[in-house]
């Protein structure tokens, strides 16, 4: 029964043609008619279509007849960007094979190598595919050699296709059926299924995506989510083709969805195991390792009112994307909001845009920062997710920053420029190897804080768009770091605090103080804008007071009259400064936050 099922995913670097190849496979197998077919068929989020990138992994079943046999091909389309690596790892756990897609012109890129090794760790059968062979400047033979040098694939086994024109796609389907092993699993055993994704429907509740490992599941059956410890009755089940297509049962090896009218968001966990209620339930599957959140920032409703709306929107989004986390926090400057953890800067941007588009919430976002480790004088190790939590300098024994190993693949002529850039970011070179005559892979250990802001953009700039970056966490190392505070009128503005290297603190402090001086509106008293490390002020700018000519009515006469009026004005300003509050507008906050990101 399972011998005619093939479960596979497509893995590749960003923009190498995964979604286009998925369109051709849907067309070739007759899953979608020509009338219904549109480009990037599986990218159904508005944001995916606007940006032209895949953000969420999508599953689809394709029925195909070959040699008189009916085959069921389950494809899981995955994202290519490094920030969505967690989506890829979840897809790999549900498959027996992977199509490793490489652009016939760009060749092996950083994310290609990372994804290939991830597939090897999951013991998947890798089918190498060279895409875009229809391009005039394609170089499939050189790319096949690059794949052999860096990934150990056989050049003769590489299947050459054009996802745009459909050339070679039929041969690719034959290769999937021949090379990808059929799933193992006994349809008559006790039910054991893995939850690999889910999303929330306002009318149907949580829709759970599952891969059946053992046993059979039927409509109307009672099931149990082992991790959540909750029992539910299946109201509907089916497969994606690519829209939801209900059926009566799913058996071992198949991929599909379950709807149980689950309204409580805490009952669905990605990586959970579905089995039967009672003592005869199957053992829980290993699930997924928890994703490491690397970048944190605060999200606040812009008007300070819709706090409960923001909480509901975040809870709904967390069902669909479990790789970000959030907890409530309060800011003196911005009011009530949430501290959110993300896998990277693009992930942060996508979550913010999805909240704004899908839930219609206007957000203010604080400057992003990475997680640090601090050992205090008492020997305790603290994880610091926001600069405000950094203790006083006198209580810090050791300040550690996260280090990532960056693999940068660049054409030979740009090696010098990339080396200079990595050294400016305090990188330590680990290795350099050539993938072919023209391309090299440089490996550097760089502090994560130096990577997340704009290293990717800078590499693209200095290599004219040909350089690619992939990074993975190595660990924490001691560094000379400090917390830089911004004080306005003697009061600390918590939303503008940052952790930075001590050598950069003066430059960054001056830049923020200058920017704030331009943005803060003038008051009736002068306002001091200061940057400080602990109690030591390192930069200061002064917003001058509005001036009123109180002596204008004195036409001549004794000088003591003018002095008396000026003294009275001086005392009034002093009293006003002591009790007055400085209003920092939302526009000023946004200007300074965006500026400190680019700094």
Annotated binding site for GTP: 15-20, 131-134
* d(C-alpha 254, C-alpha 73), whole Å: 9
Instruction: Using the structure block, give the residue that is written with the tokens 């003038």.
Output: 522
* d(C-alpha 21, C-alpha 101), whole Å: 9
* d(C-alpha 460, C-alpha 507), whole Å: 25
* d(C-alpha 580, C-alpha 573), whole Å: 10
Distances (CA, A) of 254 to 85, 257, 317, 453, 499: 24, 10, 26, 41, 49
481 neighbors 401 (Cβ within 8 angstroms): yes
- Residue 242: asked if its preceding bond is cis (omega within 30°), the reply is yes
> Per the annotation, where are the binding residues?
15-20, 131-134
The number of beta carbons lying within 10 Å of the beta carbon of residue 291 is 19
Torsion-angle region of 407 (φ positive above 0: left; ψ -120 to 50: alpha; else: beta): beta
Q: What share of the chain is helix, strand, coil (3-state, %, to 5)?
A: 30, 35, 35
Strands 97-103 and 5-12 turn out to be: parallel
Secondary structure of 133-196 in HEC code, one letter for each residue: CCCCCCCHHHHHHHHHHHHCCCHHHCEECCCCCCCCHHHHHHHHHHHCCCCCCCCCCCCEEEEE
Instruction: Using the structure block, give the residue that is written with the tokens 């059946």.
Output: 212
* d(C-alpha 370, C-alpha 295), whole Å: 5
**Which are the contacts of 153, defined by CB distance < 8 A and separation ≥ 6?**
100, 126, 128, 144, 147
48 neighbors 321 (Cβ within 8 angstroms): no
* d(C-alpha 295, C-alpha 324), whole Å: 10
**Which are the contacts of 173, defined by CB distance < 8 A and separation ≥ 6?**
25, 28, 29, 64, 66, 73
DSSP label at 438? S
* d(C-alpha 322, C-alpha 289), whole Å: 12
Tell which residue, 43, 44, 42, has the closest CA to residue 61.
42
């Amino acid at each position: 029964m399972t011998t005619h099922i093939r479960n596979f995913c497509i893995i590749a670097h960003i923009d190498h043609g995964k979604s286009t190849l998925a369109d051709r496979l849907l067309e070739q197998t007759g899953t979608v008619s020509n009338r219904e077919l549109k480009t990037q068929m599986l990218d159904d989020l508005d944001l995916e279509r606007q940006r032209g990138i895949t953000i969420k992994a999508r599953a689809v079943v394709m029925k195909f007849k070959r040699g008189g046999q009916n085959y069921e091909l389950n494809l899981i389309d995955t994202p290519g960007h490094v920030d969505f690596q967690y989506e890829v790892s979840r897809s790999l756990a549900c498959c027996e094979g992977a199509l490793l897609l490489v652009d016939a012109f760009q060749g092996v890129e950083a994310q290609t190598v990372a994804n290939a090794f991830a597939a090897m760790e999951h013991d998947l059968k890798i089918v190498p595919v060279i895409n875009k062979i229809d391009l005039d400047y394609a170089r499939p033979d050189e790319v096949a050699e690059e794949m052999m040098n860096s990934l150990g694939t056989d050049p003769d086994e590489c299947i050459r296709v054009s996802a745009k024109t459909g050339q070679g796609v039929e041969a690719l389907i034959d290769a999937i059926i021949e090379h990808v092993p059929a799933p193992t699993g006994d349809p008559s055993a006790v039910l054991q299924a893995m939850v690999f994704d889910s999303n929330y429907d306002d009318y149907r509740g949580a829709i759970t995506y599952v891969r059946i490992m053992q046993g059979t599941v039927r409509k109307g059956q009672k099931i149990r989510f082992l991790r959540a410890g909750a029992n539910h009755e299946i109201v509907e089940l089916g497969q994606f083709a690519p829209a939801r297509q209900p059926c009566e049962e799913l058996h071992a090896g198949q991929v599909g969805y379950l709807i149980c009218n689950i309204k409580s968001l805490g009952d669905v966990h990605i990586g959970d195991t579905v089995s039967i209620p009672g003592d005869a339930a199957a053992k829980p599957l290993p699930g997924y390792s928890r994703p490491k959140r690397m970048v944190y920032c605060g999200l606040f409703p812009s008007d300070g009112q819709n706090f409960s709306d923001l909480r509901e929107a975040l809870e709904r989004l967390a069902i669909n994307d479990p790789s970000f986390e959030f907890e409530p926090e309060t800011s003196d400057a911005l009011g009530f909001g949430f501290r959110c953890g993300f896998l990277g800067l693009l992930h942060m941007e996508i979550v913010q845009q999805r909240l704004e588009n899908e839930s219609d919430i206007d957000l203010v976002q604080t400057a992003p920062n990475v997680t640090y480790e601090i050992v205090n004088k008492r020997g305790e190790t603290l994880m610091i997710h926001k600069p405000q939590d950094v203790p006083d300098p006198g209580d810090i024994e050791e300040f550690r920053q996260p280090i990532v190993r960056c693999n940068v693949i660049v054409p030979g002529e740009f090696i010098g420029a990339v080396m200079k850039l990595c050294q400016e970011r305090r990188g330590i070179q680990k290795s350099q190897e050539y993938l072919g005559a023209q391309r090299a892979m440089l490996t550097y250990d760089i502090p994560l804080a130096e990577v997340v802001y704009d290293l990717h953009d800078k590499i693209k700039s200095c290599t004219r768009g040909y350089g690619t970056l992939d990074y993975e966490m190595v660990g924490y190392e001691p560094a000379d770091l400090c917390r830089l505070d911004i004080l306005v009128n003697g009061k600390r503005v918590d939303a503008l605090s940052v952790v930075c290297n001590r050598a950069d603190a003066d430059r960054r402090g001056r830049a923020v103080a200058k920017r704030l001086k331009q943005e803060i509106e003038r008051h009736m008293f002068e306002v001091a804008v200061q940057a400080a490390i602990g109690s030591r002020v390192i930069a200061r700018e002064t917003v001058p007071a509005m001036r009123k000519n109180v002596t204008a009515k004195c036409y001549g006469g004794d000088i003591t009259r003018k002095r008396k009026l000026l003294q009275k004005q001086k005392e009034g300003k002093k009293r006003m400064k002591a009790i007055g509050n400085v209003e920092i507008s939302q526009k000023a906050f946004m200007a300074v936050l965006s500026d400190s990101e680019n700094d």
